[in-house]
Amino acid sequence: MALDGIVISNIVYELKKLLLGGRIDKIYQPESDEIVLHTRGKGSSYRLLLTSHSNHPRLHITNHNKKNPESPPMFCMLLRKHLSGGKIVDVIQPDFERIVEFHIESLNEMGDLCIKKLIIEIMGRHSNIILTDSDNRILDSIIHVSKDKSSVREVLPGRIYVRPPSQDKLNPLLVPDNDFGKFLKGTNVTKLQQAIYKSFSGISPVVASEICYRAHLDPSLYLEELTDENRNALSNVMQHLFSLIKNNSFTPQIILHPNTNEPVDFSSIEMTQFLDYKKQSFDSISEVIELYYAEKDNLSRIKQKSNDIHKIIQNNLERCYKKKDLQLQKLKEVSDREYLRVYGELITANIYAISKGMNSFETINFYEEEQPLVTIPLDPMLTPSENAQLYFKQYNKAKRTHLALIEQLKQTEEEIQYLESLLTATESSTDESDINDIRYELKEQGYIKMRNPKQSKNQVKSKPLHFYSSDGFDIYVGKNNRQNDELTLRFASPSDLWFHTKDIPGSHVIIKTQNKEVPHTTILEAANLAAFYSKAKTSSNVPVDYTLKKNVKKPNGAKPGMVIYDHYNTIYITPDKLKIKNLTAKE
C-alpha cells in the first residue's frame, strides 16, 4: 500500500506531537534521494527520514542509522546552510494530498528570522524533496524537473513552487456530512471502487475497497447500478471514517499473511476486509512504516546498486554459454574421427591397387564384422602414400582437437559455475559491502578493470550471516565467494560441519560444533539455510551435502568459493523462509 492521504495525515499528526518546537541539529544525505534530519527538543532527539525513492517514497521517524558518504552532496550542503539550527514551527498536509510541508524558522544571511519550507511530495516515481524560501521560491530540490521532463510544471532553483495538479479531486475532510455519495464522479460504467479513489483526494484503491466492504457493497458495482440506499450507506461509512481522521483517531497496523507472517500491507485505519489475515497493531505509524519498508527498501537499493555488476556477470555468462555451444558442436564434429584412421589403413593395405590421379577407390572395410564395401575419396594430385598420410594427419589433428576441446569445455563449465555462484551471491546481498566484495572479486578475476588496487584492498569486508539454532549452536552463512572462502578455509575448525547445495551455486554454511554432537534439528536448520541461500531457493526437495570441514579442500588454482569434498551425506529439503525468520539472527 502506498502512503495515501490517510497515512500521511497520521504521520503529520505524529510529527507535530514529536517535532514542533524542536531544532534541527544535523542534516545528512545517506542516499542520492534520501535526507535525514536530526532534531532536538522537549528533552528528546529524533531522526526524521524523508526519501523520494521512486519505489518507496515516504517520511517517518527512524531508528535506523545509515552510513553517510564521506563528502556530503550539494543538496545536503544547501540544507545545512539554510536549515541547521532552525526551529520546526509547523507541519502541514495541504488539501489532504500526499504532500507534507515543514515550516522551519531560521536566520537568513542578514541575521533576520525567516521561514523556509522543506516540502516532500510522495508521488511514486515523481516524488521529490524541495526547499523553498518564505515567498515559495525554490532554493533547490533533490531532483530537478525541467520542461523536457514535465510539461506540467518545472521544479528548478529560482522558480516559484507550485503544487502538483489536484486532478479536480475533493478533499474528503471538507465534504459535508452524509454528502459523500453525491460527489462520486465518473460515467455510469465506472466501477464503484474506482469512482471513490478518483473522486476524493488521499484515498488509495485499498481504502476505497475497505469503504465498499464496510458499506456491504461490491467494489465492482457500476455507478449506474447504485441505489439511493447504496449511496446513503456509502456516505455513512465515509462520514464515520473521516470523522475519526479529523479527530486524529488512528489505528496503525500491519497486515500479515496468515501462512508466512510476511507483511502484505499496512494502514492507519482498521482494515476489516482482510478477514483471514493476521494484524499487528502499533502505537506509532513511523514504526509501522519503518518495519514494513525495512527489507523492501534495502533490497530495492541493493538491486539498484548491483545493476552494473549483475549486467557484467550476465554478459559473461551469455558469452560462456555461446562458447560452450560452439565447443559442443566442434566436439561432435571431431568425435566421429575413427573413419579417418580406417581410410588411411585401407589405403595403405590396398596401395598396390591405387594409382596417382584417381578420385576415389572402392574396397572392403575389413575393420567391420560385416566387411561392407566402402568408397574412399582421394586427392588425384597426391600419390597413394601421400593420400594415406593425409588421412592419418587429419585423424591425429582431430584427436588432438578432441582432447583440447574436452579440457576447454571443462574450463568453460567451471567458469559458468563460478559466474552463476557470483549471480547467486549478488541476489543474496543484504548491504552495500556485500556488493563491494563481489565487485572487488570481479576485478581480481579480470572481469572488471582494476583502476586503484590499493583502494579496493583497503575496503571494509562484509560479514557473513550469523544465526543461532534452536538447539543453541552458532550457524554462519557466507553471502559471497570471499565470505565462503573465509568461513570454510580460515574460520571453521576441522570438527565443524560444512553444508552446500549439491551441484548448485550457493552459500557455504558452517555449524560451529564446539566438538559436541549436533542434533538433527540443527542439521535440518543449517540445510534449510544452505538451500535458501542458493540458486535453488524457490525449488523443492533441494539436495544439500554436508560433511566435516576437514573433508573439504580447495584445489590449487581454484576460483574463489570453489572447493571439493568427500565422505559426505546428502539431505533433501524444501527451503522455508518462515523457519529461517524464526531462527535468531545475530550481529
- Per-residue pLDDT of 78-125, as tens digits, reads 999 999 999 999 999 999 999 999 999 998 777 788 999 999 999 988
Pair 319, 275 in one domain? no
Residue 580 in this model has a pLDDT that exceeds 60: yes
User: What's the grid cell of residue 21?
Assistant: 518546537
Q: Is 361 a domain residue?
A: yes
Residue 586 in this model has a pLDDT that exceeds 70: no
Pair 506, 569 in one domain? yes
Specify the CATH number for the domain of residue 91: 2.30.310.10
Confidence tier at 428 by pLDDT (50, 70, 90): confident
Tell me the whole-structure pTM to 2 decimals. Answer: 0.73
Q: Give the pLDDT score at 150.
A: 81
Is 355 or 152 the better-scoring residue by pLDDT?
355
Pair 372, 493 in one domain? no
Of 269, 301, 333, the residue at which a domain comes to its end is 301
Residue 259 in this model has a pLDDT that exceeds 90: no
Is 276 or 458 the better-scoring residue by pLDDT?
276
Is 59 or 444 the better-scoring residue by pLDDT?
59
**Which DSSP symbol is given to 52?**
-
Q: Give the pLDDT score at 572.
A: 96
Pair 270, 333 in one domain? no
Confidence tier at 1 by pLDDT (50, 70, 90): low
* Percent with pLDDT over 70 in the chain: 97
Q: Is 156 a domain residue?
A: no
Q: Give the pLDDT score at 577.
A: 85
Pair 41, 126 in one domain? yes
Confidence tier at 452 by pLDDT (50, 70, 90): low
Q: Give CA 39 to chain center in angstroms.
A: 32
Helices 205-214 and 228-246 pack at an angle, to 10 degrees, of 120
Residue 245 in this model has a pLDDT that exceeds 60: yes
Separation of alpha carbons 39 and 60, rounded Å: 13
Average pLDDT over the chain, rounded to whole?
Answer: 91
Pair 198, 287 in one domain? yes
- SS3 string, 314-334, reads HHHHHHHHHHHHHHHHHHHHH
Name the strands in the sheet holding 99-107, side by side, starting at the edge strand that comes first in the sequence: 58-61, 44-51, 34-41, 23-31, 87-92, 99-107, 113-121, 128-132, 138-141
- Spatial CA neighbour of 31 closest among 325, 431, 314: 431
Q: Give the pLDDT score at 463.
A: 85
Specify the CATH number for the domain of residue 185: 1.10.8.50
Residue 66 in this model has a pLDDT that exceeds 90: no
Q: Is 435 a domain residue?
A: no
**Please, where are the H alpha helices in 464-547?**
481-485, 520-532
Q: Is 261 a domain residue?
A: yes
Pair 65, 84 in one domain? yes
Question: What domain count does the chain have?
Answer: 4
Q: Give the pLDDT score at 107.
A: 83
Q: Is 197 a domain residue?
A: yes
Separation of alpha carbons 87 and 41, rounded Å: 9
Q: Is 278 a domain residue?
A: yes
User: What's the grid cell of residue 63?
Assistant: 531508528
Pair 134, 225 in one domain? no
Pair 178, 290 in one domain? yes
Specify the CATH number for the domain of residue 320: 1.10.287
Torsion of CA 264, 269, 274, 278, to 10 degrees: 60
* Percent with pLDDT over 90 in the chain: 70
Separation of alpha carbons 260 and 267, rounded Å: 19
Structural domain containing residue 123 = 5-141
pLDDT in tens, 12-51: 999 999 999 999 999 999 999 999 999 998 889 999 999 9
Pair 315, 279 in one domain? no
Is 111 or 419 the better-scoring residue by pLDDT?
419
Of 122, 141, 160, the residue at which a domain comes to its end is 141
Q: Which single residue is written with the C-alpha cell 509547523? A: 90
Phi and psi (nearest 5°) for 569? Answer: -110, 155
User: What's the grid cell of residue 386?
Assistant: 601421400
Q: Is 188 a domain residue?
A: yes
Total Cβ atoms within 10 A of residue 430: 15
Pair 29, 130 in one domain? yes
Q: Is 166 a domain residue?
A: no
pLDDT in tens, 267-291: 999 999 998 899 999 999 999 999 9
Of 234, 266, 301, the residue at which a domain comes to its end is 301
Q: Give the pLDDT score at 112.
A: 82
User: What's the grid cell of residue 320?
Assistant: 560462456
Pair 279, 324 in one domain? no
Residue 239 in this model has a pLDDT that exceeds 90: yes
